[in-house]
Structure 1
């Protein structure tokens, strides 16, 4: 509160301390009162016989303790005429035990058969701190049911009660609980008000949260810290008793009030294309936690399950919808029945479980009626490699001689700076041109025609031969992958395609091909190649930037134009950035991957032939190699499962491995 507002609030409390009618006056003094100190409530009654006066006191707030009273006494008042008039005074002494604002109710008085009553009065109890008297804010968690379930969305509202005016708080802090999900919501709820004697007190919500417990037992919600007008106040902690999820809803974990709907995008689908089933759950409750069970059906597999959501937090929990989009594939044509499992949810108020009944939808799986649809690889054709080859020499970033190409430009700049002769400008231009053209050119792709004619073996031989001359060409590796796939060599197809991705990680067609191979081969848990740029590219860019900066500097010395100086500085910055990228990329390229080259292979729990198998991998599945021991490699698949696999079961990719040698070793 501002100083003016504090003064007005105190003035109103003092005014409310004097409650009177024509025959009864009520006085509270002092008001406001300091915590731990006493205050007096005095009734002045216009009646001269104390024995005929009876007083019925109201229910006393538990924050006050009656110390003495009622003390009934006579007293005299001098009238305007000068005569003394006898009246009755009733006095109570109370002790204030807690800070805040409290309402003392109406006293009922009977004097010789006449009935009187006082108005309720608001009494403030405060403290002194730093030579200042104030009434601390009453901060608390709004009353909630402290019993809840694991996964339930429990709304929590921090509030400040009994305010004489609406405040804007400078700071509101609530630490997160030690477990569970603690989500802040934008709207903590409405401001409420209630009469307090002749005044109105407000309850202001200051922070709203939704807490989702993750474990059973007692969970403490930390207290709230607020600050306004230089006054800092705290609430106590809130303890929730968290119960386990009832067995009836274990399949969904849904707690709240929900509806469900589902629909197919297409009622008929080609086997090669599949169809999508949408299952939507709407309502209010733990939309952030619940699970939508997958559909079931004979001859059906789920290739993808995409989660979509559109909900927001409110004081009633999360409201909105959750949607699961299932991509369904079928193994053979015919009428297929898809079963949608029941969806049970719990009403947290009544404890009742509602079960949304299971549903059924039908879809017709059709045979592919064209070659393009029957062949999932019909759209993947060899690339023209005439202008796509990389340097003739593989791994130039690892060869110290490659970094000598960083010297021509700086050397020419130094010589020209010392000699200041324009004839050196021609020398620098020639050296820069040699530097920029030192990476070589490509050769025309001659295998495309053989591939289109179905002569995959000869096309593969040609691509492998060209790879011997251009070992870093992503197009040649991709074309080889297409041939391997047509020849049924799934492991080498995946190996060559991922090699192409290593050299050109931003080529979506390469990724689509790998995905198509995995889909048709039933590979589910393959590791996906990341987008790490080949280090030679950064070496090439750094060479151009360094020599270009030097050449721009030479021209600046000749022409004295600021534009060439700016260009030299810009290219110098680019050279620094590319050098850092070169270091980072070269570190990433040290990572080894492996392609499984057997149809089914059991992954051992320990590097021992007699060890039990932990899980299986399929031919063409890519894994990460994270260690080795003897004849075994320690691998990790796409979903984080780890184990040991024999080295001869893997085609190793990455690091110092020459991919062409791996492909030709057992062609």
Structure 2
């Protein structure tokens, strides 16, 4: 029984050290009847280099049967492995355990096991406080403590710099840390907590002062340089920490991923219509070395990468302590290669090493197939296509292309600005103070704020210009398509996209974007001229005319001017001319407002372009009897929408129902 109890206690001691926890064998967990009575206190106050002794008594014991086993001692404390035993006449054996404090600081000696003929006995925990010299304060200690063990190459490991052996809870006044030479070393927060322990009636604290996520880039021995912590006027040095970094299994080397992850792969479409691109999205979510791992490889057949965007959001993993928690994303925009009828996308297998279960986890590869039909609307004329000039990037950045109705906040500022201008001016006049300057400044601030506009992606447009110079008009056109997703009402972008489609002989995309450019900027006669050139080049006869209108922005600006003038006239002294002016401005404002509504209505009239040859039916039903046929790139006016059908009208006056999927619809404000 005695041997069994001793074995259990030794196993508990070893397990506690393996888990990096405080020693569990204390006076509370050891049976009280097994604790020895000391001749002195359990708190020893000494100086550095001074010898101390622990005196205790063993009753009814033969000195020959006494065996002492020391626990792992703290750095700075040395204890003789053999105690001094003195037998007394009353049968009591006096034992003296001698040690020496090699360093200054507070050190806790965990229970010492003493084996006798009467069973195992334990010395209570001893607190040794070693001052540098008599009368000086006992310093605290500092150390590095990794929160993961073992450590592997590429693994993101939380490492805590902490104060140890301090009897006062405090915050550091300063720390000095050097980054290791090999690896990513990033400070973080939210990891680690204050640990307190009471020994010999003294409460000791273990305080984390800084936490870093360390990602070693090489295997072998890696050194964390020493660090300094200053608190309460004392500077403690955390000695350098030697970390043994293991190699990853060969299956994980392509990705270098360590942690616990889940991989999701998605493709937005399985067939590409003319002028369309496919988007492949790879999302890696979980906890581990997210910033440094490599995403799975992608193999393409019949497709090429048009644009690739890497992204991700991750923070320190404060729960499982695996490094970083969050996600990495890779978005790839793909377009078909010329002449390819089918495309294949293969996302290779992804392997990662899970340090919690010490095994490699591999996700299966993903395979996608895409139908790549020939480009509808492409017309072979045997003639050289027109080559109208493109708008430069400087011209595309001009404010003229942005629609006021698309920018609600600037419009609001334009409307509120004159009212606030008038209020400030009115107050200045009534108070007989020079408020003109303040009024002008207030008005300028409001009108300047109205110039807030969304910016173009100039990097994307510059890449498109490079492709244009290389003769890759179709590829450059796809980049313009991506930019138009962010700025659908930009007439300049539509014009350039239409010209590029014309150069690559894509009738559908050319007519669609040029018509949109003309409707967005009806004042540009050159846009209308290029549209007519494209229609003539592709021999397109059944085209409805582009409605003549005034650009709504012009009338809106005129309405704002009338609105501002109304407020200025309102500030004038009450006279007959003032009254006539106010009435006149109101009448003009009503007329201009009617013009705004008319222009917006004309601009919003929905149109559509036929994607492929289709049949017009008299009723909205696929099984209805065919009536007439429409050729690709025919423009139609959309009269009504019902379920999956449009009621359309052609330039010749033919009206009927067609499937919505076969019409590319647009309207300036739709």
TM category, shorter: 0.3 to 0.5
